[in-house]
Amino acid sequence: MIAGVVVVLLLVMGVSGYNGLVQLNENVNGKWAQVDNQLQRRADLLPNLTNTVKGFAAHELTAIQAVSDARAKLAGAQGPAAKAQANGDVNNALSRLLVVAENYPDLKADKNFRALMDELSGTENRIAVARKDYNDAVQHFNANIQSFPTVIYSRILGFGPKEYFKAAEGAQQVPQVKF
């Protein structure tokens, strides 16, 4: 009788634990989808920004091309590490492009340029929030699968640790812009 109760109790705990891991896993996946969504929003804004700058500074094609190349790399990146690296490349390219924009007072005064910059600024904030939410969900998931008693069965059920969205190498350094 007692053995039967213990078996039933273990079975209920196992099902409950599995369901909890599924929910945590889906939370991480949902948070990643939001990061991806915001990175895509950023990538969608970049062609408009580069075209606006191009109209004012056609001879500054190097900076404009760098943004286009970085955007393409971001669009093709897979997973948090590759997306973080590509995101760093976009940041560097945008910094160079904004230095170009500083040299053109008419461009800074253009309402389309200002609107795009406002959109880009809002998007940067959304990306930061989405990255934080994703990393918080990863931390919660990873702590859960490594805690006792979940650690006993999480790997068996196929739940391994998730990857954090980390800043690209050198992201702590302010980009050097030289023309």
Number of alpha carbons in the 13 Å side-chain half-sphere of residue 96? 19
**pLDDT at residue number 174:** 47
Q: Are 63 and 96 in contact (CB under 8 A)?
A: yes
Q: What is the mean pLDDT of each run of 10 residues along the chain (179 residues)?
A: 75 76 91 88 82 70 81 86 85 81 71 80 88 94 90 87 78 47
- pTM of the entire predicted model: 0.69
**pLDDT at residue number 58:** 65
Q: Among the CATH numbers 1.20.840.10, 2.40.50.100, 1.20.1440.20, 3.30.750.200, which is that of 16-154? A: 1.20.1440.20
Q: What is the DSSP letter of 148?
A: T
**pLDDT at residue number 62:** 78
CA atoms of 117 and 7, how far apart (whole Å): 61
**pLDDT at residue number 28:** 92
What sign results for the dihedral spanned by CA atoms 132, 133, 136, 138? Answer: negative
